[in-house]
Amino acid sequence: MAGVKSRRLFKRAQRALVGGVNSPVRAFKSVGGTPVFMTRGRGSWIQDADGRRYIDFCHSWGPLILGHARPEVLFAAERALRKGSTFGAATEAEVALAEDIQAAVPSMQLVRLTSSGTEADMSAVRVARAFTGRELVIKFAGCYHGHVDSLLVAAGSGATTLGIPDSAGVPPAWARTTVTLPYNDAQAAAAAFKKWKGQVAAVIVEPVAANMGVALPAPGFLAALRELCTRNGALLIFDEVITGFRLCYGGYQKLCAVRPDLTVLGKIVGGGLPLAAYGGRRDVMRLVAPLGPVYQAGTLSGNPVAVAAGRETLRLLRTLKPYAALEAETLRLAAGIRRDASACGVVVTVNTIGSMFTVFFTGHPVTDYASAKLADAARYGRFFRSLLEQGVYFPPAQWEAAFLSAAHSGADLGRADKAIGQALQSLAD
């Protein structure tokens, strides 16, 4: 599993960092063993403290769609850094990034940059409550919208990995402002609007769920949410922190042709550096300070280095148009996983969309949080550890998305396919 240096680093980290990590899923609690400490990455691979190299299918949980250390992105960030790391003042570059976002995501008529997806989600919900004058927010079990107190309810992702779908420290009164429903259940949403008539400020949803593993929206689900929000005077918020610029240039809302009132972006839009954004209808966003009474601020919001990395990433995506090729490669990889699993008698369900996929160790279709939780996390842990030993790095949790990048070569995918076959065979032995 982890090499000598990684094990030593983890012991040292546990004396200084909570649990030895700065984000729970990195602790490998779900998959077993000691965390692997990474030192560098280039293209499709990463290298650990012991010098071992891995083909990476995590890619920092999604933002590195162009691969690690893309030269053009590094150059753009370095050029910006040489002018100054932060000013705490307005810059032309942040205006240009906001304009890029507006052009790509027309529903975002006004944009506010932040430093994290959590911050952006929290702010989007706040402005929705202010605009409607209501308190309740509908979310869906297994969808994760950052560690916002009122939204950390049946939140999937790291919360699921740790087996604590509700976080300690969240006052019950705050949790009661959130109505949690099954993902893909439009009838449950309609019933909620009826039960809490005139009280729902917003519906927030990952249009493609990625924090319970990948789960696709059922036909008509997102359109039904749009209609329910419009009819009941609530706002529809798409959390596209993961899907924004991952599935197409412009976000999943472009593919599904459903226009939300507010959108949250992160990960890819920052080019691998800490940057996120929220935005939407002009009449709603005009409530945000300094135009209106909804306060939100950040010292590093619109940080020039992150803005430069984000702008260059978006420019490359517009130029290279990698989406069709990434989807084809993902489908081939998933077909190989299904074939190898069937050959050795291991039951899996593989969900894919675009360059995202999840291998669930269950024979049931995975369409929501309840069906995702049927997956065998212990078996996934054995699968993960086998891949790691063979130099392939998958997400260290059953309920997460894996990602392909434009840096993955045919040779990378061939080597990964072979390693996956051997990992599945080891489960059958």
Q: Please, what are the domains in the chain?
A: 4-65+322-428 (3.90.1150.10), 71-319 (3.40.640.10)
Among candidate residues 251, 262, 266, the one with its CA nearest the CA of residue 317:
251
- The reported pTM is 0.94
Residue tagged 């032995």 (tokens)? 429
Buried b (16+ CB within 10 A) or exposed e, 12-21: ebeeeeeebb
Measured in whole angstroms, how far is the alpha carbon of residue 394 from the centre of its chain? Answer: 15
Of all helices (H) and strands (E), which one includes residue 425?
Answer: helix 410-428
Count of C-beta atoms within a 10 Å radius of residue 338: 14
Contact between 214 and 356 under an 8 Å Cβ cutoff? The reply is yes
Contact between 250 and 207 under an 8 Å Cβ cutoff? The reply is no
* pLDDT for res 164: 37
Rounded CA gap, 184 and 215, in Å? 9
* Strand segments (E) across 241-302: 262-265, 276-280
Rounded CA gap, 241 and 394, in Å? 20
Residue tagged 């369900």 (tokens)? 349
* pLDDT for res 214: 98
Residue 192 structure tokens = 């909620």
CA angle (92, 93, 94) in 5-degree steps: 95
Rounded CA gap, 406 and 129, in Å? 39
Q: Calculate the average pLDDT of the chain.
A: 94
Active-site annotation, residues: 144, 239, 267
Contact between 136 and 196 under an 8 Å Cβ cutoff? The reply is yes
Contact between 50 and 22 under an 8 Å Cβ cutoff? The reply is no
Tens of pLDDT, residue by residue, the chain (429 residues): 678 999 999 999 999 999 999 998 898 988 988 999 999 999 999 999 999 999 999 999 999 999 999 999 999 999 999 999 999 999 999 999 999 999 999 999 999 999 999 999 999 999 999 999 999 999 999 999 988 767 766 544 444 333 334 567 777 777 788 999 999 999 999 999 999 999 999 999 999 999 999 999 999 999 999 999 999 999 999 999 999 999 999 999 999 999 999 999 999 999 999 999 999 999 999 999 999 999 999 999 999 999 999 999 999 999 999 999 999 999 999 999 999 999 999 999 999 999 999 999 999 999 999 999 999 999 999 999 999 999 999 999 999 999 999 999 999 999 999 999 999 999 987
**DSSP, res 34:** P
Residue 56 structure tokens = 């990476």
Question: Which residues are CB-neighbours of 350 under 8 A, at least 6 positions away?
Answer: 334, 337, 338, 357, 358, 359, 360
Question: Which residues are CB-neighbours of 414 under 8 A, at least 6 positions away?
Answer: none
* pLDDT for res 156: 46
Residue 303 structure tokens = 């940080």
* pLDDT for res 174: 76
What is the three-class DSSP state of 348?
coil
* pLDDT for res 58: 96
How would you class 257 by CB atoms within 10 Å of its CB: exposed for 0-12, middle for 13-18, buried for 19 or more? Answer: exposed
* Rounded CA Rg of the chain: 21
